[in-house]
């Protein structure tokens, strides 16, 4: 049986080969032979936008927003073939996709996606939040499951173009502070049954209305999925996973934003909600290693005990580390860590390390736990 280290090396080698072949501009070495395959190129975007005058901007917290399916007028699409590379992207009317029943994505979960917001500022300007990080993470996710690579800068340009086209109508200046959710996705579309890397793929980028989660859970505005009855208490309730339920494992793909990471967790998440909890707190291994909470990165803030590395009583913010294939590199997670180190460095020690559920229990029993919180992985 191959070790996880060997499997990781094989995956890394496959990613390198894919990049060499289909996105050589990502290489930093000189003297490489240009690839005959076309790379993703935002400058070749073909514009054919449509304006749907019968489709109005929904009100905040309306049923349309809470449906999470109300999209704007237009989308961006592009196709890739192993024989030719990337097509010119198109900006066109939002519409259903047509795929063959034998498409790779339906049978072998060859799909990856991203999620990021763009906002209407109080100064009237449109803004994306750190889109370069989402573009780079999507590249990592795509190559991890044998989907074609691309230069992240070109992907970001497509994001910015859709924002520029859709923003004026859907985020009107008279409603500052509102946002839309940008969802780029890539799927394998090869029309063949058989376990193999896709030779065809499709990229699309859409903008969809999503509810805001910046209000207390249980408040009326929260909506039914977060206890929006007006009688709930603020705060999330997390149900720790059992030994027979694992979200991710060392050497796996928990660090990639791929469809296969989410489907298997839906059944236990639904059971948790049936019991009155909001998400599963995913644990791993005999040591009950704390990993993520539902679809979010998990943090604890506590004061160190007698065995603390920096002395007893030191305030720490702790979260699970990256690097073993289990934790998704959330853009919000990264931002929280960077801001805390920059602005709270003398008050709070920021720590990325493995920690177990027993540590949390002891901190609670000793009255050292200050708070726990989650940060969405967008």
pLDDT tens readout for residues 170-198: 999 999 999 999 999 999 999 999 999 99
Q: Give the integer Cα–Cα distance in Å for 376 and 299.
A: 11
The model's confidence at residue 1, banded by pLDDT at 50, 70 and 90, is: very low
Instruction: Give yes or no for a contact between 147 and 188, defined as CB atoms under 8 angstroms apart.
Output: yes
Instruction: Give yes or no for a contact between 304 and 316, defined as CB atoms under 8 angstroms apart.
Output: yes
pLDDT at 7: 45
- Mean predicted confidence (pLDDT) in 329-343: 96
> Given a cut of 80, is residue 142 above it in pLDDT?
yes
User: Which tokens in the block code for residue 351?
Assistant: 């720590």
pTM: 0.86
> Given a cut of 60, is residue 2 above it in pLDDT?
no
- Mean predicted confidence (pLDDT) in 326-345: 95
Report CA torsion sign: 293, 298, 301, 302: positive
pLDDT at 245: 87
Range name among 6-15, 29-38, 235-244, 313-322 with the lowest pLDDT average: 6-15
Range name among 11-20, 166-175, 243-252 with the lowest pLDDT average: 11-20
**Residue for token digits 């200050």?**
370
- How crowded is residue 154: how many other Cβ atoms within 10 Å of its Cβ? 21
The predicted-structure confidence for 202-217, as pLDDT tens digits, reads as follows 999 999 999 987 665 5
63 φ, ψ to 5°?
-55, -35
Range name among 55-64, 232-241, 264-273, 313-322 with the lowest pLDDT average: 232-241
- Mean predicted confidence (pLDDT) in 114-139: 97
């Amino acid at each position: 049986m191959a070790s996880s280290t060997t499997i990781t090396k094989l995956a890394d080698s496959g990613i390198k080969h894919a990049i060499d072949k289909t996105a050589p501009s990502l290489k930093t070495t000189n003297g490489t032979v240009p690839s005959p395959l076309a790379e993703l190129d935002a400058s070749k975007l073909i514009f054919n936008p449509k304006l749907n005058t019968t489709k109005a901007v929904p009100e905040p917290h309306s049923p349309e927003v809470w449906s999470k399916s109300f999209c704007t007028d237009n989308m961006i699409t592009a196709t890739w073939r192993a024989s030719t590379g990337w097509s010119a992207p198109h900006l066109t009317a939002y519409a259903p996709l047509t795929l063959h029943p034998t498409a790779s994505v339906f049978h072998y979960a060859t799909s990856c996606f991203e999620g990021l917001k763009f906002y209407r500022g109080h100064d009237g300007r449109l803004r994306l939040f750190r889109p370069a990080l989402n573009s780079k993470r999507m590249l990592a996710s795509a190559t991890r499951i044998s989907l074609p690579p691309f230069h992240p800068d070109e992907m970001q340009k497509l994001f910015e173009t859709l924002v520029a086209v859709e923003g004026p109508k859907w985020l009107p200046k008279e409603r500052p502070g509102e946002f839309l959710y940008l969802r780029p996705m890539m799927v394998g579309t090869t029309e063949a049954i058989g376990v193999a890397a896709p030779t065809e793929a499709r990229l699309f980028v859409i903008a969809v209305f999503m509810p805001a989660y910046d209000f207390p859970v249980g408040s009326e505005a929260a909506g039914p999925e977060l206890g929006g009855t007006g009688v709930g208490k603020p705060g999330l309730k997390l149900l720790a996973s059992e030994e027979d339920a694992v979200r991710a494992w060392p050497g796996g793909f928990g660090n990639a934003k791929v469809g296969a990471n989410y489907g298997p967790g839906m059944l236990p998440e639904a059971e948790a909600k049936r019991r009155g909890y909001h998400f599963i707190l995913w644990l791993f291994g005999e040591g009950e290693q704390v990993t993520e909470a539902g679809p979010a990165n998990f943090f604890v803030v506590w004061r160190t005990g007698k065995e603390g590395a920096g002395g007893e009583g030191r305030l720490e913010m702790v979260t699970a580390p990256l690097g073993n294939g289990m934790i998704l590199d959330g853009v919000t997670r990264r931002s929280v860590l960077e801001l805390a180190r920059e602005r709270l460095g003398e008050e709070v020690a920021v720590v990325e390390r493995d920690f177990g559920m027993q540590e949390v229990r002891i901190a609670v029993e000793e009255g050292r736990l200050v708070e726990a919180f989650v940060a969405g992985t967008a």
